[in-house]
Amino acid sequence: MNLIAARYHVVHETTYSYESPVSLSRQHLHLTPRDCPWQSCLAHQISIDPEPTHSRSRPDCFGNPVRQFDIEAPHSRLTVCAESTIEVRPHLPMGLDGQAETGFQSDWLAASPSWEEVSSMLAYGAAPVRLEANRFLFESPYVRVKREFSAYARPSFTPLRPLLCAVQDLMRRIHDEFEFDPAATTVATPVLKILEDKHGVCQDFAHLMLACLRSLGLAARYVSGYLLTHPPPGQPRLVGADASHAWISVYCPSAEGGGWVDFDPTNNLLPDTQHITLAWGRDFGDVSPLRGVILGGDAHELDVAVTVTPLENGVWQSSG
């Protein structure tokens, strides 16, 4: 297990170019990394061009930092650049390296309560009421609760199997049986279509895993963030070539750190210092990096560039 905290400098730049001027823009941003028991946002700034008429910051209902702004002057281009320095500390139990190879188990995963026991704890009428978990039990705009998802998950959730072992096996199966294909889906692709076609991206795999877990009566939330990418051998890392990432977190009352454990179905591993948490909610819609409404604009072009840079000795050296 890695016992050394990791520090990263993240630049997330979003640019909208409009066909005709926008007279009014109101935007809602999830671009500020949240502080967690294992993560600290050491420095952060958001630059907006053109200058907002009004701007305010607040937490949302899930505790994520949110920035809201209005632009009341005509503009044909909008650029939002979030720049952050984040420290991520190791948070997997001692001896667990995060890799989830076939057949891999640890005493920690196997020591979790059975999935049926946890589902019973969250059932209607159970006491005590676990409000923080219960809000992630139900359908949400991008996640369905249906028999098809519980049927897909059942081979992993055998009778009395420890919850975290079952979730790890479901993660492995999604990784092995689904193909990463950026051209196969859009944000509007239904999660049932993902299950049928077995193609998608990290957002799709997270929504699918959430649908499977919630269809079994388990609480699970969507986590958005960043993951450092590695260029091919001998090739330099390219500015703007990284991307946002998504994974899930399942409620397990025996787990340290508030009872939630992260799983990354796209990469078949348990996130640790290599994952940077931005926000969490019921699904992508709750934590979209930038969403809003505009008057005017007609057609538009969108360009998103993300650069994740590991810091040496906690210091970022600008190349500019």
- Taking alpha carbons only, the member of 143, 152, 142, 202 closest to residue 173 is 152
Query: Is the dihedral angle over the CA atoms 75, 81, 82, 83 positive or is it negative?
Result: negative
pLDDT of amino acid 289: 95
pLDDT above 60: residue 276: yes
| Rounded-to-integer distance, Cα 251 and Cα 258, Å | 9
| Rounded-to-integer distance, Cα 223 and Cα 279, Å | 6
pLDDT above 70: residue 1: no
- CATH for 6-88+287-310 is 2.60.40.2250
Residues with Cβ within 8 Å of 226's Cβ and at least 6 positions away in sequence, in order, are 8, 10, 12, 242, 243, 244, 245, 275, 276, 278, 306, 308
- Going by pLDDT thresholds of 50, 70 and 90, the confidence category of residue 313 is low
| Cis before 128? omega within 30 | yes
- Name beta bridge partners: 36: 39
| Rounded-to-integer distance, Cα 257 and Cα 91, Å | 8
For 68-94, the pLDDT digits (tens) are 999 999 999 999 999 999 999 998 875
Q: What is the average per-residue pLDDT within 246-261? A: 88
- The model's pTM is 0.91
| pLDDT, greater one: 239 or 64 | 64
Within a 10 A sphere around the Cβ of 54, how many other Cβ atoms? 10
- Going by pLDDT thresholds of 50, 70 and 90, the confidence category of residue 210 is very high
pLDDT above 60: residue 96: no
| pLDDT, greater one: 100 or 138 | 138
Which residue ranges make up each domain of the chain? Answer: 6-88+287-310, 107-285
Within a 10 A sphere around the Cβ of 45, how many other Cβ atoms? 10
Determine contact, residues 149/212, Cβ cutoff 8 Å: yes
Fold of 107-285: C8orf32 fold (3.10.620)
- Taking alpha carbons only, the member of 93, 90, 62 closest to residue 3 is 90
pLDDT of amino acid 312: 76
- Going by pLDDT thresholds of 50, 70 and 90, the confidence category of residue 240 is very low
For 124-146, the pLDDT digits (tens) are 999 999 999 999 999 999 999 99
- Name beta bridge partners: 47: 81
Q: What is the average per-residue pLDDT within 279-289? A: 97
Least confident of 115-119, 200-204, 269-273, 316-320: 316-320
pLDDT above 90: residue 238: no
